[in-house]
Amino acid sequence: MAKDGQLPALARTGIAGLDNILNGGLTPDRMYLIEGTPGTGKTTLGLGFLLAGAAVGEAGLYITLAETEVELRAVAETHGWSLDSAQPVRDGPRRRLWRGSRTDAAPPERGRARRDDLAR
Protein backbone atom coordinates (compact mmCIF):
# COMPACT_ATOMS: atom_id res chain seq x y z
CA MET A 1 0.00 0.00 0.00
CA ALA A 2 1.22 3.51 -0.76
CA LYS A 3 2.28 5.77 2.13
CA ASP A 4 -0.94 7.77 1.88
CA GLY A 5 -3.06 4.63 2.36
CA GLN A 6 -4.06 4.45 -1.31
CA LEU A 7 -3.56 1.30 -3.33
CA PRO A 8 -0.66 1.57 -5.80
CA ALA A 9 -1.45 2.07 -9.48
CA LEU A 10 -1.79 -1.20 -11.37
CA ALA A 11 0.95 -2.22 -13.79
CA ARG A 12 -0.41 -2.47 -17.32
CA THR A 13 0.41 -5.73 -19.09
CA GLY A 14 0.68 -4.10 -22.50
CA ILE A 15 -2.19 -6.29 -23.73
CA ALA A 16 -5.37 -4.17 -23.74
CA GLY A 17 -7.78 -7.12 -23.51
CA LEU A 18 -5.89 -8.67 -20.60
CA ASP A 19 -5.71 -5.34 -18.78
CA ASN A 20 -9.49 -5.11 -19.19
CA ILE A 21 -10.01 -8.60 -17.72
CA LEU A 22 -7.66 -7.72 -14.84
CA ASN A 23 -9.53 -4.47 -14.14
CA GLY A 24 -6.57 -2.35 -15.17
CA GLY A 25 -3.48 -4.53 -14.87
CA LEU A 26 -1.35 -6.43 -12.39
CA THR A 27 -0.67 -5.52 -8.78
CA PRO A 28 2.84 -4.02 -8.71
CA ASP A 29 5.72 -5.34 -6.60
CA ARG A 30 4.64 -8.95 -7.02
CA MET A 31 6.22 -11.87 -8.84
CA TYR A 32 4.20 -13.55 -11.56
CA LEU A 33 4.97 -16.89 -13.20
CA ILE A 34 3.62 -17.28 -16.72
CA GLU A 35 3.41 -20.87 -17.87
CA GLY A 36 2.03 -22.46 -21.01
CA THR A 37 2.68 -24.66 -23.99
CA PRO A 38 4.39 -23.29 -27.10
CA GLY A 39 2.27 -20.76 -28.95
CA THR A 40 0.08 -19.66 -26.03
CA GLY A 41 1.46 -16.11 -25.92
CA LYS A 42 4.03 -16.16 -23.11
CA THR A 43 6.59 -14.25 -25.16
CA THR A 44 3.95 -11.81 -26.39
CA LEU A 45 2.83 -11.14 -22.82
CA GLY A 46 6.39 -10.73 -21.56
CA LEU A 47 7.42 -8.34 -24.32
CA GLY A 48 4.16 -6.40 -24.09
CA PHE A 49 4.61 -6.00 -20.34
CA LEU A 50 8.19 -4.79 -20.69
CA LEU A 51 7.31 -2.36 -23.48
CA ALA A 52 4.36 -0.97 -21.46
CA GLY A 53 6.72 -0.40 -18.53
CA ALA A 54 9.36 1.20 -20.76
CA ALA A 55 6.71 3.59 -22.09
CA VAL A 56 6.33 5.01 -18.56
CA GLY A 57 10.06 5.09 -17.82
CA GLU A 58 10.51 1.75 -16.05
CA ALA A 59 13.48 -0.53 -16.59
CA GLY A 60 12.91 -4.20 -17.37
CA LEU A 61 14.74 -7.45 -17.91
CA TYR A 62 13.71 -10.33 -20.17
CA ILE A 63 15.48 -13.63 -19.49
CA THR A 64 15.17 -16.47 -21.95
CA LEU A 65 16.79 -19.86 -22.23
CA ALA A 66 15.24 -20.76 -25.56
CA GLU A 67 14.66 -17.74 -27.80
CA THR A 68 17.31 -15.85 -29.71
CA GLU A 69 17.39 -12.09 -30.11
CA VAL A 70 16.28 -12.54 -33.74
CA GLU A 71 13.27 -14.60 -32.64
CA LEU A 72 12.27 -12.03 -30.00
CA ARG A 73 12.52 -9.20 -32.52
CA ALA A 74 10.38 -11.21 -34.96
CA VAL A 75 7.66 -11.71 -32.33
CA ALA A 76 7.71 -8.00 -31.53
CA GLU A 77 7.48 -7.13 -35.23
CA THR A 78 4.36 -9.28 -35.69
CA HIS A 79 2.63 -7.04 -33.13
CA GLY A 80 3.95 -3.80 -34.60
CA TRP A 81 6.34 -3.30 -31.67
CA SER A 82 9.92 -2.10 -31.90
CA LEU A 83 12.75 -3.40 -29.74
CA ASP A 84 15.22 -0.88 -31.15
CA SER A 85 15.77 0.67 -27.72
CA ALA A 86 16.37 -2.76 -26.11
CA GLN A 87 19.94 -3.60 -25.25
CA PRO A 88 20.64 -7.33 -25.33
CA VAL A 89 22.87 -8.72 -22.59
CA ARG A 90 24.37 -12.12 -23.10
CA ASP A 91 25.85 -14.50 -20.56
CA GLY A 92 27.80 -16.23 -23.29
CA PRO A 93 26.97 -19.63 -24.77
CA ARG A 94 23.78 -21.22 -23.48
CA ARG A 95 25.77 -24.01 -21.86
CA ARG A 96 26.89 -21.52 -19.20
CA LEU A 97 23.27 -21.03 -18.18
CA TRP A 98 22.84 -24.65 -17.13
CA ARG A 99 23.25 -25.06 -13.40
CA GLY A 100 22.85 -28.53 -11.95
CA SER A 101 22.02 -28.52 -8.26
CA ARG A 102 21.01 -32.16 -8.01
CA THR A 103 23.81 -34.69 -7.67
CA ASP A 104 22.03 -37.14 -9.98
CA ALA A 105 21.73 -34.59 -12.80
CA ALA A 106 24.43 -34.96 -15.41
CA PRO A 107 25.25 -32.07 -17.75
CA PRO A 108 23.44 -32.35 -21.08
CA GLU A 109 25.23 -33.69 -24.14
CA ARG A 110 27.71 -31.29 -25.71
CA GLY A 111 27.19 -28.89 -22.81
CA ARG A 112 23.87 -27.57 -24.12
CA ALA A 113 20.84 -27.43 -21.87
CA ARG A 114 17.64 -29.02 -23.07
CA ARG A 115 14.35 -27.67 -21.79
CA ASP A 116 13.66 -30.97 -19.97
CA ASP A 117 16.95 -30.63 -18.07
CA LEU A 118 16.19 -27.04 -17.05
CA ALA A 119 12.75 -27.96 -15.74
CA ARG A 120 14.06 -30.44 -13.17
| Residue 68: domain span | 1-88
Arithmetic mean of pLDDT, 50-75: 87
Q: CB-based contacts of 16: which residues, under 8 Å, 6+ apart?
A: none
Chain mean pLDDT for the chain: 77
State percent of the chain over pLDDT 70. 71
Arithmetic mean of pLDDT, 14-34: 91
Per the structure, the count of domains in the chain is 2
Tell me how far apart the alpha carbons of residues 96 and 48 are, in angstroms, rounded to a whole number: 28
pLDDT exceeds cutoff 90 at 94: no
pTM above 0.85, yes or no: no
| Residue 106 neighbours by CB distance under 10 Å | 9
Are residue 26 and residue 73 in the same domain, yes or no?
yes
Q: Grade residue 80 by pLDDT with cuts at 50, 70 and 90.
A: very high
Are residue 29 and residue 52 in the same domain, yes or no?
yes
DSSP symbols for 42-100: HHHHHHHHHHHHHHTT-------SS--HHHHHHHHHHTT---TT------SSGGGG---
Give residue 51's identity as a one-letter amino acid code: L
